[in-house]
């Protein structure tokens, strides 16, 4: 099995930490401080990979060590060609979930990996089908789980993921914020390419 | 929101308990003692629902209370029309994972629900695509995680789920052993039908 060099996760997300741990990958965390700006007219599905690269680049400038792997990610929800980010209020969270219930949306996570002066960037999409929810159910979820730090105003690993996600098509962990299987595959390929 | 009566989970599986908890459903556990026999020539995809009903019926005979919901489930892996159960040894676990790696298999969970003298039974299927794995990776997983109580010799929520599950099509929680969204929907419908 391929041994990984030191990994730095450029994200404060507890879910991303949990997924690296599940993959038995050792890592340190440095939370980047970025403006999360994208050029105007960027195609929506490219937005998360661009923001991920910003995050990785910011942490790289701080670390200045080409021997470590820097990993960053950004997750958005796309519904009917609209980008849905994190809700700013209870009202916004409720409005987002009213839009998502009873239909299928796409979760896109963009990933940036920096190693030995090279940049690797990709996106992973997962389709998520939510069953119809009543307003009482949406209120219960928002009041109880306060999903204000979640793109699309929900977390699949919480109550709403159990009772309302009918099916997904693609990587489940991508919906949690990191397509860990693809990340692991990239790590293996990048390291093998450097050592052979 | 619909209030649920007392639920009895007829299963000792920690994963099924975890999923009921995620759905905020209160329950007690009674582990059934059944032979898990099915009539000869039963179509493979019907096997788990038949075993689930055996489990629910065994617990029902013990409880003798029509006012509680009894929930039982059984999970199997199907690959190329072959039923794959729990491995009996390290060798068997390795052989199963060598078969599953690099291809798509189907996880079928059969569910039986007993309430007020009525029986409800259904099956849920999820397609799981596993990327290629080396023998060293399979050995690492079997040695480290000892997946002897798992149908198909793996658990999606462990290391192998993070690094080797490329994608799924269907319900993720079904792969863990309980299609919790469908179970929640059935509970709601069954209770509404009794109260209206």
- Percentage with pLDDT > 70 across chain A: 100
pLDDT at B99: 97
Mean pLDDT of A89-96: 97
The secondary structure of A122-150 as a DSSP string is: EEEEEEEEEPP--HHHHHHHHHHH--TTS
Which sequence positions of B are flagged as catalytic? 74
Q: Residue B180 is nearest to which of A136, A162, A180, comparing CB atoms?
A: A162
ipTM of the complex: 0.92
**Residue A176 forms part of a structural domain:** yes
User: CA of B169, closest CA in chain A: separation in Å?
Assistant: 4
Pairing type for strands A104-115 and A69-79 reads antiparallel
Report whether A52 contacts A110 (CB < 8 A).
Answer: yes
Does a structural domain hold residue B1? no
Host domain of residue B110: 7-195
Q: Do A181 and B171 touch (CB under 8 A)?
A: no
The answer to whether the CB of A74 falls within 8 A of the CB of A48 is: yes
Q: Which residue has the higher pLDDT, A129 or B41?
A: A129
The domain spanning residue A81 has which CATH number?
3.90.950.10
Average pLDDT, chain A: 95
* DSSP H or E segment with residue A166: strand A165-170
Secondary structure of residue A83 in the 3-state scheme: strand
Mean pLDDT score, B112-125: 97
> What is the predicted pLDDT for the residue at B85?
86
Band (B35; pLDDT cuts 50, 70, 90): confident
**Contact across the interface for B181 and A172, Cβ inside 8 Å:** no
Kindly state whether residue A1 falls inside one of the protein's structural domains.
no
Query: Whats the size of chain A, residue-wise?
Result: 196
- The number of folded domains in chain A is 1
Give the mean model confidence (pLDDT) for residues A173-183: 97
What's the DSSP call for residue A40?
Answer: T
Q: Is residue A2 domain-resident?
A: no
In terms of CA atoms, which chain A residue is nearest residue B158? Answer: A22
| Residue B131 pLDDT grade (very low, low, confident, very high; cuts 50, 70, 90) | very high
pTM for this prediction: 0.94
Count chain A–chain B contacts defined by CB atoms under 8 A. 79
Per residue in A99-140, pLDDT tens? Answer: 999 999 999 999 999 999 999 999 999 999 999 999 999 999
The distance of B37 to chain A (nearest Cα, Å) reads: 30
Mean pLDDT of chain B: 95
Q: Is B185 close to A131, i.e. CB distance below 8 A? A: yes
Q: Can you tell me the mean pLDDT for B28-53?
A: 93
Task: Answer yes or no: do B171 and A167 touch at CB < 8 A.
Answer: yes
């Amino acid at each position: 099995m391929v041994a990984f060099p030191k990994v730095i996760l450029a994200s404060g997300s507890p879910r991303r930490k949990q997924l690296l741990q599940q993959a038995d990958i050792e890592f340190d965390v440095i939370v980047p401080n970025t403006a999360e700006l994208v050029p105007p007219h960027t195609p929506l599905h490219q937005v998360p990979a661009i923001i991920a690269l910003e995050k990785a680049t910011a942490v790289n400038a701080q670390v200045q060590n080409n021997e470590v792997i820097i990993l960053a990610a950004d997750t958005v929800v796309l519904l009917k060609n609209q980008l849905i980010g994190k809700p700013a209020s209870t009202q916004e969270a409720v409005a987002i979930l009213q839009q998502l219930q009873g239909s299928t949306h796409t979760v896109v996570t963009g990933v940036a990996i920096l190693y030995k002066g090279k940049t690797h960037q990709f996106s992973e999409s997962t389709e998520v089908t939510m069953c119809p929810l009543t307003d009482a159910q949406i209120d219960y979820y928002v009041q109880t789980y306060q999903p204000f730090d979640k793109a699309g105003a929900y977390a699949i690993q919480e109550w709403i993921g159990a009772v309302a996600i009918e099916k997904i098509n693609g990587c489940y962990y991508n919906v949690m914020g990191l397509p860990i299987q693809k990340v692991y595959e990239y790590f293996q390929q990048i390291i093998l390419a450097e050592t052979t």
